[in-house]
Structure 1
C-alpha cells in the first residue's frame, strides 16, 4: 500500500520543504486540496462533516493546487502529486486542460488529476457558472479535458461545451490519470465508468468498505473489473500498523495521512516538527511496506 501526504491547511511557505522531506521519507504522493474562497455565509451544508459546517475559517491558508503541484515538483524528482480534489464545476475545461498538460509535462508525468464537482452554490454562481445541471456539465468537462490532453487536433460538440478543431501542444508524453472524488451514487458511477481511481473525503472504515464493494460492482457492470484502479482513502478510524493493514486488505491502494496530527502538532505547527513527524511515520510504516493479504 502507498502513502500520500495530505498538506491541507498548512502554511504556504512550508509546502516545498514538506515535499522534499516527503520524498526523502518514501511517500509516494502529495494530495493537494482545493478551495476557491471562503464565503461569509454558506447556502449549502458542507457534505463531509456531521453538522454541515466547515472546519476552516476565512484566514485559513489555501493555494491553487495546480500552482502548488508545479512549485513542489520543481524541488523533487520522484514524488507524485494529485489534486484531492479540484472542483471542476466552477471552472473552464479548456483552461484547465492547458494547466494540467503544462504540469504533466513540466513535472515529468508526476501529476494525477483528482476531480469533483464542488459543493457550494456560491463557487459556481460567483464564478459565472450555473449551479443547475452541474453533474452533467462536469461529465462533459472530463470528456473535454481528456480529449485535449490526448493530443492532436480535436473538436467537441456537446450540450454545454462546443468548439471547432483546436490543438494544445505539447500533449503530455504519458496519459494523465483521472481520480474521481465524491461519495454519492452518481459520483461512484462516474469513477467506475471512466476514472483511473476513486478518492475519498473523510470516512469511517465501515462506510469505506461498503463504498469499495459498490465500486467493484459498478466497475464489473461497466466491464472494467480487470483494469487497474486506485482507491485513495482518508479513513478516520483506522490508524497504526494494524489499521493500515485492515485498509490494505479492504482494497485501499493509497492511504492519505497527515502524520503530524498523530503527534499532536496542529496544521499551523512548526516546519521542523512536521518534518520529524514524517520521518517517524516513515520508519514505522513505509520502511517496512504493508501488503494486502492475498
Structure 2
C-alpha cells in the first residue's frame, strides 16, 4: 500500500517544502484539494460531515490545484500529484484539458486527475454552469478530457458540449490517470465504468469495505484500479494493515494531525510529523 500526503488547508507558503519533505521520506503522492471560493451562504449541506457543515471558513487558505502541482513538481523529481478531488461540474472541459495537459508535460507525467461533481449549487451557477443535469454533464466532460488529452485532431458532438476538429499540443506523452470521487451509487458506477480508480472523502472503515465490495460487483477490478482512501477510524500499523487487507492501495494521510499539530501549524512541526509517520508506519509497513 502506498501513502499520499494530504495538504488541505495548509498555508500556501509551506507547500513546496512539504512536497520536498514528503518525497525525501517515501510518500508516493501528494493529494491536492480544490475549493473555488467560500460563499457566505450556501444552499446545500456539505455531504461529508455529520451535520452538513463545512470544516473551513472564509479565511482558510486554498490554492488552485494545477498551480500547486506545477510549483511542487518544479522542486521535486519523482513524487506524484493528484487532485483529490477537483470539482469538475463547474468547469469548462476544454479549458481544463489545456491546464491538465500543461501540468502533466511540465512535471514529467507525475500528475493524476481526481474529479467529483461538486456539491454546492453556488459554485456551479456563479461560474456559469447549470446545477441541473450535472451528472450527465460531467460524464460528457470526462469524455472530452479523455479525447483531447489523448492527442491528435479530435471533435466532439454531445448534448452539452459540441466542437469541431481541434488539437491541443503537446499532448501528455503518457495517459493521465483519472480517479473518480463521490460516495453515491452514481459516483461508484462512474468510477467502475470510466475511472482508473476511486478516491474517497472522509469515510469509516465499515463503509469503506462495503464500498470496495460494491466497486468489485460493478466490475471495477476487471482492470488495474486504485482505491485511494481517507479512513477516519483506522490508524497505526494494525489499522493500515487492515486497510490493505480490504483492498486499499493508497492511504491519504495528514501526518502532523496525529502528533497534535493543526492544519495551520508551523512548517517545521509538519515536517517533523512527515518524518515521524514515515519512521513509525511507512518504513515498518
Distance 2:283 2:185 in 1: 37
Q: CA deviation at 1:226?
A: 3.0
Q: CA deviation at 1:2?
A: 0.2
Distance 1:172 1:65 in 2: 18
- Residue in 1 aligned with 2:145? 145
Corresponding position: 1:57 with 2:53: no
Question: The residue matched to 1:140 in structure 2 has which SS?
Answer: helix
CA contact (8 A) 2:215 2:221 kept: no
- Residue in 1 aligned with 2:270? 274
In the alignment of these two chains, the number of paired residues is 285
Q: CA deviation at 1:156?
A: 0.1
Q: Unmatched 5+ residue regions in structure 1?
A: none
Q: CA deviation at 1:89?
A: 0.4
- Residue in 2 aligned with 1:231? 227
Within a 5 Å distance, the mapping from 1:229-268 to structure 2 comes to 229-268=225-264
CA contact (8 A) 2:7 2:31 kept: yes
Question: The residue matched to 2:218 in structure 1 has which SS?
Answer: helix
Within a 5 Å distance, the mapping from 1:120-139 to structure 2 comes to 120-139=120-139
Question: The residue matched to 1:215 in structure 2 has which SS?
Answer: helix
Within a 5 Å distance, the mapping from 1:1-294 to structure 2 comes to 1-219=1-219, 225-288=221-284, 290=285
Q: TM-score, normalised by structure 1?
A: 0.96
Q: CA deviation at 1:119?
A: 0.1
Distance 1:39 1:126 in 2: 10
Q: CA deviation at 1:250?
A: 0.5
CA contact (8 A) 2:89 2:117 kept: yes
Cα offsets for 1:187-240 (capped at 9, x unmatched): 000000010000000000000000000000001xxxx53311000000000000
Distance 2:281 2:238 in 1: 10
Of 224-233 and 251-260, more deviation after overlay is shown by 224-233
Distance 2:187 2:121 in 1: 18
